[in-house]
Every structure is written in C-alpha cells, then in structure tokens.
Amino acid sequence: MREINRDGVKLSQLRAFVAVAGHGNFSEAALHLNISQSAVSHAIATLEEELGVVLLSRGRHGATLTSVGVRVLTHAQQMLHLLESIGKEANLVRGLQGGEIRISSFRSVATHVLPEIIAQFRRRFPEIAVTLEEYRGDNGVEQAVREGRADVGFICMPTPSGFEAWEVLRDEYVALLPPKAEVPDATLTWEHLSTYPLILPPDNDYCSQIIYGHLTKLRLSLNATYKIKEDSTIVSMVMQGLGATIMARLAAEPLPREVQVFRLPVPLERVVRVVTLADALHSPAVFAFLDTLKQMGQGGEWRSPWALQTPPGQFIGALHNENMKLG
C-alpha cells in the first residue's frame, strides 16, 4: 500500500469535495464554485487518487458520500474553516490602521458603561475613530443600527428581528424613596410602596413597560401619579419628597446620598445587550470593538459604578453569547 502524499492534497480539491457533498451533485457544486463541472470532477478524482480512497459514489441521481467520505468531510470542513479564520485575522490587522466604529446607546449605558469600554478600545486601537450617539430610548438605537447610521447599538429590549445580540450586563431595578421615608424593619413591601405617590416614565417607555409587566405578573396594581420622561427629574422629585419610584439602578445614577434605596420585594432586572445587524458586512474596526467588549467582560475589567453602595447592580463577569458568533 503506497503512502498518502499529503503534500499533494490541495485546498481547491477540498473546496470541491465539500461543495459536492453539500449540493449532492457535480453540476450544482460547479455553479456554486463558479468553475466548470469538468474542473470539479478533476479535483475530486485527483483528491481520491492522492488519498487512495473513494469519497463519493457517482450515480444517475447525483453523488453521495461513502462511509470514509463522511469522515473525511468533517476534517475538510474544519480545514476550510481554519483557513477562513486565518484570513479574517490577517484582514483584521490590515484593516486596523484606520477606520471608524459608530456606536449608538441609551443614556445610562452611554454615561456609566461605554466611557470605560471606549477608553480601553482606544488604548488598543488608537488609529480607529470612535463616535457615540446617545438616544432617549431603545427605538432610536435600533433605528440607527437598522438604517446603517451606527455599527453597533446597546439596548435593553428583546433582540429585534434581523439582529444578532450579546448579553452585556444585567441591571437591577430598585425602589427609590424620599429622604425622610420610614420603612418598618428596613424591608420594603409592596403595601408600603403603594402608600407613596408613584413616579414613573410614560407608558410608552420600555422601562415603564418592564415595571408594569412585573407588577401584572404579581397581580399588583400600582398606578403612576406622575409620568416623567427624564430619569434625573424623577430622582429630583423623589429627593424633594414628592413620591417614590421604581428605576433601573444604572439609570438612577448619580444618586443623592439622601435618597433611600431598597431592593424590590420581588427582584426585577433588565438585560442590556449589544446588537449588530445580522446580515451586515462588518468592518475590521467593528470586530475589534466587539472583541474588546468580550475581553473586558471575560477579564472582569468592568467595575460597577455603584460598587461601594447598597444595593449593588450586577455586571456579568463574561459576555453571554445569545446568537452572535464573531469571526
């Protein structure tokens, strides 16, 4: 038995083999590879000759894998995937001598999370320009990314259709009470919270919808006395004793020392995600930014803005991939 000439196996032969296996016949594989059918046939025949085995059974109805062909296919696919990864790494380095990353985000993440991330990214890639546009809510962020005005966005609503997303952090909702509020046993109950005028965002605000959805599941009815758009205004009203609020902790920062903060009787949190368009052709700068984001999460480099306060929010130690895969 002659020894296999591994140096004689070419990547073009493996591409042809994977294409035929995927399409089930030589003609469609040729169309896919944009070469002639005879070139595909020659590539497969040469590969089988080099390996000394039959990979495909030819017949009137196309080509099917032999038992050894099934096993070889797995390795061929892995080799082509590795080659693609090598190419992406090379393109990443070549493309990081310039370029731009455009970020869109809602206010609390833009204020308390992104500055640290952007600073780290700029230290790694000083030649890449970074722009950040802040929006009142998630809808503006989604629209900016969908229309191509932003490369990545940070949202807290469920992942929109046509997007890929990573979970970045989880932000706890807390109750804010006036400075002179007295809470028995320092443990807040829904009954006690209902004794205060409630200050919440408008009904069409996503955070308001999260809060009301939570209350509905608990079969509670707490109606807002005031409906205010700006988080800072809500905090100021609580500070002046005009009522209480339920607010994501990140959105409440910076908190006056006098405002009292309590965990909700039944915990509630929002999930902050970074999103990109699923079918977009991302630049090397975008992949570099996402890679920086991932590394900071895995390395524990994020610090909660309220780390020395109670109750703490919760940053995820590592990014949890929902449906996005980086190249």
Question: pLDDT tens digits for 159-172?
Answer: 889 999 989 889 99
Q: Please name every residue paired with 129 in a beta bridge, in sequence order, or none if there are none.
A: 100
Distance of CA 216 to the CA centre of its chain: 28
| H or E segment and range at residue 253 | none
d(CA 95, CA 287): 10
Task: Point out the least confidently predicted range of 13-22, 188-197, 293-302.
Answer: 293-302
DSSP E strand stretches across the chain:
56-59, 62-65, 100-106, 129-135, 152-155, 163-177, 198-200, 224-227, 245-248, 260-263, 269-277, 320-321
- pLDDT band at 325; cut points 50, 70, 90: very low
CB 189 within 8 A of CB 175: no
Would you state the pLDDT for residue 319?
A: 36
Residues contacting 163, CB < 8 A, separation 6+: 142, 145, 275, 276, 277, 278
- At residue 190's C-alpha, the angle toward residues 189 and 193, to 5°, is 90
Burial class from Cβ neighbours inside 10 Å (0-12, 13-18, 19+) for residue 275 reads: buried
Amino acid at 262: F
Q: pLDDT by residue (tens digit) across 203-242?
A: 888 888 899 999 999 999 888 999 998 999 999 999 999 9
d(CA 58, CA 63): 5
The packing angle between helices 11-23 and 26-33, to 10°, is 120
Q: pLDDT by residue (tens digit) across 138-151?
A: 888 999 999 999 99
Instruction: Please give the DSSP secondary-structure letter assigned to residue 174.
Output: E
Would you state the pLDDT for residue 313?
A: 33
Scored b (16 or more CB within 10 A) or e, 83-93 reads eeeeeeeeebe
Residue 44: helix, strand or coil by DSSP? Answer: helix
pLDDT at 307 over 50: no
Q: Which CATH number among 3.30.70.260, 3.40.50.300, 3.40.10.10, 3.40.190.10 corresponds to the domain 171-269?
A: 3.40.190.10
Range(s) for CATH 3.40.190.10 in the chain?
A: 100-169+270-321, 171-269
Would you state the pLDDT for residue 305?
A: 45
Place of tokens 């996005």: 324
Phi-psi region of 283 (alpha: psi -120 to 50; beta: other; left: phi over 0): beta
- pLDDT band at 320; cut points 50, 70, 90: very low
- pLDDT band at 104; cut points 50, 70, 90: very high
Range(s) for CATH 1.10.10.10 in the chain?
A: 6-95
> Mean pLDDT, the chain, as a whole number?
84
d(CA 299, CA 40): 47
- The architecture of the domain spanning 100-169+270-321 is 3-Layer(aba) Sandwich (3.40)
Specify the CATH number of the domain 6-95.
1.10.10.10
Burial class from Cβ neighbours inside 10 Å (0-12, 13-18, 19+) for residue 276 reads: buried
Residue 136: helix, strand or coil by DSSP? Answer: coil
